[in-house]
Amino acid sequence: MALVEIRNVHKSFGEVEVLRGIDLAVEKGEIVTIIGRSGSGKSTLLRCINGLEQINGGEILVAGERVHSRSTDLRKLREHVGIVFQQFNLFPHMTVARNITLAPVLTGRVAKGDAARELALKVLAQVGLEEKIDAYPGQLSGGQQQRVAIARCLAMSPYLMLFDEVTSALDPELVGEVLKVMEDLATQGMTMILVTHEMNFARNVASKLVFMHAGMVHEEGRPADLFANPATPELANFISSVR
Amino acid sequence: MRGFTISDVLTMLAAVQWTATLVVLALAFGAPLALLLARMCTGRSRLARLLATGILQLVQGVPVLGLLMFFYFGMPVFLGIKVPALVSVGAAFTIFTAAFLGEIWRGGIQAVHVAQGEAAACLGLTRWQTFRHVIAPQAFRIALPATVGFLVQLIKNTSLASVVGFVELARAGQLASAATFQPLLSYACVAAIYFALCFPLTLWSRSLEDKLNGAR
């Protein structure tokens, strides 16, 4: 069974149905990028996967657990499913070290003090920011903040990471450093689902490409195939418009 | 009749301790209630939200004098027990503090971006851990200048306790004025003492505000 199974998911905001029957499976170790025009429901779908949004129909299973079932301990599930946001959402009143170790300490994965600091250093090394361990988020550039946000997720050793347009709020010259970190994660075998506008990443790093249109999965397949031979005019149009 | 002497001033200064007692009582019991109300107003339960909002609006629409009268004259009538003035007056200021601080802190909590709570929840924190470590420290910073500002209001409003005969600073001034027939001098003295208490707090509140704005 796939790590993430999305079955016929429907989701409405008031009168507007943003997800209109989504089916998608993500295997362990896959890098799935979701592309599509804004308003196509990409971010909403991502937020449904870790239960940030309720759904109106269908079901989502993560590691065999039904995310939207009442009996599911969402808190427990989220310890293993990391999410990185467009706006970083670091805690501004805490140092980088505390941002990273807060959750591991509170959930009992690591003891306070030296062990926690060691963990912070370890994950900061993965994003190349060890020297910023005692800085506050406000003292970092956008790209550095986003790398810290990724490190904060890694500290929980998740088996699945979600990325919600993580480079969209960055200045163009800072996008590369964040993408580099994500490529490293991909080569280490992390299962990742990304909503992105970075077509090069989608083309070169992803193992699966999903094109969403009007609240549905319009096309999915290997990135190279989809980019070379889009089956529908919608995807062809989208590809030529972002090129 | 006697003249206005230094001993009248000393009596007033001594009465400041009862003003201070009222302030401390109001904060000690009112602040936890305020926190509870603020949490209820911003919580997930609709019922709790309605209830807390209702309480805040009700108390804020009633003058402090009304609260004082209600507790001073009402408690013996409704509860059938005679309580010391300090208890009824203290209760009135507790309710006053709970409502106004509750409103200030509610605003502080809501000023912290929703995404902060989401980020904490996504890391597997419980709702209490999220509030305790992520929301509350940021909300406190935002609400601190207004909280200190409210403290000034509270100090000045305790003067209303004089109408039910509770001898705090304002009532001590009334007594001195009656004994010496020097109302102007007596009340000027009272005003000066209130000012001396409140002015440093006002300055502190201002400097906190500047610091907060500078940090943005």
Identity of the amino acid at B8: D
Distance CA(B162)–CA(B170), nearest Å, equals 6
- The per-residue pLDDT for range A80-91, each reduced to its tens digit, is 999 999 999 999
pLDDT at residue B73 is higher than 70:
yes
Which helix (H) or strand (E) segment holds residue B7: the answer is: helix B6-41
Give me the residue from A76, A85, A107 closest to B119, CB to CB. A85
Q: Please give the share of chain A, as a percent, with pLDDT higher than 70.
A: 100
Averaged pLDDT for residues A119-128 = 95
Q: Do A93 and B119 touch (CB under 8 A)?
A: no
Q: A83 touching B, CB under 8 A?
A: yes
- The per-residue pLDDT for range A155-181, each reduced to its tens digit, is 999 999 999 999 999 998 899 999 999
Averaged pLDDT for residues A102-116 = 94
Q: A43 touching B, CB under 8 A?
A: no
Q: Do A102 and B125 touch (CB under 8 A)?
A: yes
Give me the residue from B119, B129, B138 closest to A89, CB to CB. B119
For residue B77, the model assigns a pLDDT of 85
Range of weakest confidence among A138-142, B64-68, B210-214 = B210-214
Distance CA(A61)–CA(A9), nearest Å, equals 11
For residue B216, the model assigns a pLDDT of 45
Mean pLDDT of chain A: 93
User: pTM here?
Assistant: 0.86
Tell the burial category of B44 from Cβ atoms under 10 Å away from its Cβ (0-12, 13-18, 19+): exposed
Whether residue B143 contacts residue B108, with contact meaning beta carbons closer than 8 Å, is answered with yes
Which helix (H) or strand (E) segment holds residue A206: the answer is: none
- The per-residue pLDDT for range B5-14, each reduced to its tens digit, is 888 888 888 8
- The per-residue pLDDT for range B85-139, each reduced to its tens digit, is 888 999 999 999 999 999 999 999 999 999 999 999 999 999 999 999 999 999 9
Give me the residue from A52, A79, A89 closest to B124, CB to CB. A79
Mean pLDDT of chain B: 90
Per-residue confidence at B163, pLDDT binned at 50, 70, 90? confident
Averaged pLDDT for residues B29-43 = 95
- The minimum CA-CA distance between B214 and chain A, rounded to whole Å, is 13
pLDDT at residue B159 is higher than 50:
yes
pLDDT at residue A234 is higher than 70:
yes
Averaged pLDDT for residues A50-66 = 93
Per-residue confidence at A1, pLDDT binned at 50, 70, 90? confident
Domains and CATH numbers, chain B: 6-215 (1.10.3720.10)
Candidates A95, A102, A105: best to mutate against B (most CBs of B within 10 A) is A102
For residue B4, the model assigns a pLDDT of 85
ipTM: 0.89
Give me the residue from B116, B124, B126 closest to A91, CB to CB. B116
What are the backbone dihedrals phi and psi of residue B142, each rounded to the nearest 5 degrees, phi first? -65, -40
Averaged pLDDT for residues A22-51 = 93
Instruction: Find how far residue B56's CA is from the centre of its chain.
Output: 14
Per-residue confidence at B214, pLDDT binned at 50, 70, 90? low
Distance CA(A113)–CA(A56), nearest Å, equals 44
For residue B1, the model assigns a pLDDT of 63
Whether residue A96 contacts residue A150, with contact meaning beta carbons closer than 8 Å, is answered with no
- The per-residue pLDDT for range B175-193, each reduced to its tens digit, is 988 889 889 999 999 999 9
For residue A90, the model assigns a pLDDT of 96
Distance CA(B214)–CA(A41), nearest Å, equals 39
Q: Residue A186 to residues A12, A183, A221, A242, B200: CA-CA distances in angstroms?
A: 32, 5, 18, 24, 58
For residue A13, the model assigns a pLDDT of 93
Q: Do A102 and B126 touch (CB under 8 A)?
A: no
Q: Please give the share of chain A, as a percent, with pLDDT higher than 90.
A: 88
> Which residues of chain A from 85 to 144 reach within 8 Å of chain B, CB to CB?
85, 87, 89-93, 102-103, 106-107
